[in-house]
Amino acid sequence: MITEKTLFAQHVEKGLSAPSKFLSSMYFYDKKGEALFREIMNLEEYYLTNSEMEILMFQGHEIAQLLKDEEVEIIELGAGDGIKTKELLRHFDKKNTVYRPIDISEQAIIDISKKMSEWIPNLQVKGVCGDYFKMLDQLKSDAKKVILFLGSNLGNMSDDQAKGFIHQLNNVMQKGDQLMLGLDLIKSKDIVLPAYSDSKGITAEFNLNLLDRINKELGGNFDRTQFEHVATYSEHEGIAKSYIKSKVDQTVTIEENEKSYHFKKDELIHTEISRKYDLDIIRNIIEGTSLHLDYQFTDNKQYFTDLVLTKK
Ligand SMILES: C[S@@+](CC[C@H](N)C(=O)[O-])C[C@H]1O[C@@H](n2cnc3c(N)ncnc32)[C@H](O)[C@@H]1O
């Protein structure tokens, strides 16, 4: 059986051997990365959390009315800490609702399972730790499903990957099942860029933690001080990207891969994409599925949107 460690090592080998180096943002979330992301969510500059929180706090009741049924299974992909989700779940009938958070971070699943049961007593919480890309087939069931994909998690995929993923979701959904997508909207650089390069340096720490994780789990010898965090945003495309830049010419060895990797001065490792959306982009992504965009909710500043789509 292939272990998580082997998969991580194979991914690092592929990413660091590529002509344009890359590492997946999926690997940000070890225990430290998870804690750092919670700090990011509390940053003034990280407007995404507050904007979606505002939608769920003030319009959660209305949204829940659209999603409710006699019995409903609410599956949340990449659930994280669930603080926003509780503002929606508190409007559901506890007896007939099962909440299934899925997250690749074991710590996130332990914490959310405990906290959600405290925040909303009697809600049935059945958390699962795993990679949602590999778990979609397990979501098939006869119960009415509501799939939550919040926090603009979809934006961590290219448009082609997002299209493939939404088509896969469409295939496991039955008529009447619903998908709620939380998406960051295209807006100006002065608002977006600080969310990915904050003044306290927490986003930099979060990005560079990936090198620490490789050192810890795969026996790497990255010297963190020789790399730096870089964030860019193209307002025209609506895409923010994060990179780790090598400050000098250097070679790093990873024991698990029995291999050394060379980095030129100023060479970039692409680590994250954060796509911003408008309705045309979303229509293109859902084209060819039987998902129908039924409702759109936004915050007061129109920074963020939560969309409700129904399988017809
Ligand atoms: C940006 S956070 C968002 C958390 C939450 N949805 C929110 O809106 O605040 C991304 C979450 O997705 C999880 N995650 C990332 N890639 C994943 C994957 N492939 N499978 C399962 N969980 C994943 C991370 O562990 C993290 O908790």
Interval 23-53: pLDDT, tens: 999 999 999 999 999 999 999 999 999 999 9
Could you list the residue range(s) of the whole structural domain that residue 110 is in?
48-187+277-311
**Count of domains observed in the chain:** 2
**Can you tell me the mean pLDDT for 54-83?**
95
Per-residue pLDDT, 69: 85
* One domain for residues 155 and 82: yes
**Can you tell me the mean pLDDT for 185-200?**
97
CB of 151 within 6 A of ligand 1: the answer is: yes
Which amino acid residue places its CA nearest to atom 4 of ligand 1? 80
CB of 51 within 6 A of ligand 1: the answer is: no
Q: pLDDT band for position 118 (50/70/90)?
A: very high
CA distance 71 to 244: 46
Per-residue pLDDT, 1: 82
Assigned domain for 70 exists: yes
In 3-state terms, the chain is what percent helix, strand and coil (to 5)?
Answer: 45, 25, 30
Nearest to 269 by CA among 3, 6, 24, 8: 24
Contact 155, 276 (CB under 8 A): yes
Give yes or no for residue 76 having a pLDDT over 90. yes
Q: What residue type is assigned to position 169 of the chain?
A: L
Orientation of helix 47-67 relative to helix 189-196, angle to 10°: 100
* Distance of CA 21 from the midpoint of ligand 1 (Å): 23
Q: pLDDT band for position 140 (50/70/90)?
A: confident
Q: What is the pLDDT of residues 225-257, one digit of tens each?
A: 999 999 999 999 999 999 999 999 999 999 999
Per-residue pLDDT, 46: 97
Cβ atoms within 10 A of the Cβ of 31, count? 12
* One domain for residues 61 and 142: yes
CA distance 132 to 75: 11
* Distance of CA 175 from the midpoint of ligand 1 (Å): 26
Per-residue pLDDT, 142: 83
Q: pLDDT band for position 94 (50/70/90)?
A: confident
* One domain for residues 245 and 161: no
* One domain for residues 88 and 181: yes
Q: pLDDT band for position 80 (50/70/90)?
A: very high
* One domain for residues 177 and 220: no
Name the average pLDDT for the chain. 96
* One domain for residues 106 and 180: yes
Give yes or no for residue 115 having a pLDDT over 90. yes
Assigned domain for 258 exists: yes
CA distance 79 to 148: 8
CB of 80 within 6 A of ligand 1: the answer is: yes
Atom index in ligand 1 nearest the CA of residue 78 equals: 12
* Distance of CA 132 from the midpoint of ligand 1 (Å): 9
* One domain for residues 155 and 299: yes
Pairing state of beta strands 124-125 and 239-246?
A: unpaired
Cβ atoms within 10 A of the Cβ of 220, count? 20
Per-residue pLDDT, 143: 87
Nearest to 212 by CA among 33, 41, 40: 33
* One domain for residues 150 and 234: no
* One domain for residues 27 and 104: no
* Distance of CA 131 from the midpoint of ligand 1 (Å): 9
Assigned domain for 6 exists: no
Q: What residue type is assigned to position 143 of the chain?
A: A
Assigned domain for 159 exists: yes
* One domain for residues 237 and 287: no
* Distance of CA 272 from the midpoint of ligand 1 (Å): 13
CB of 193 within 6 A of ligand 1: the answer is: no
Per-residue pLDDT, 33: 95
Atom index in ligand 1 nearest the CA of residue 108 equals: 27
Give yes or no for residue 14 having a pLDDT over 90. yes
57 vs 142, higher pLDDT:
57
The full DSSP string for 175-228 is TT-EEEEEEEBP--HHHHHHHHS-TTSHHHHHHHHHHHHHHHHH-B---GGGEE
| Bridge partners (DSSP) listed for residue 304 | 184
Which CA distances in Å does 282 have to 12, 97, 182? 31, 29, 11
Assigned domain for 118 exists: yes
* One domain for residues 270 and 170: no
With b for 16 or more beta-carbon neighbours within 10 A and e for fewer, the 75-112 pattern comes to bbbbbbbbbbbbbbbebbeeeebbbbbbbbbebbbebb
Give yes or no for residue 128 having a pLDDT over 90. yes
Give the distance from CA 288 to its chain's centroid: 24
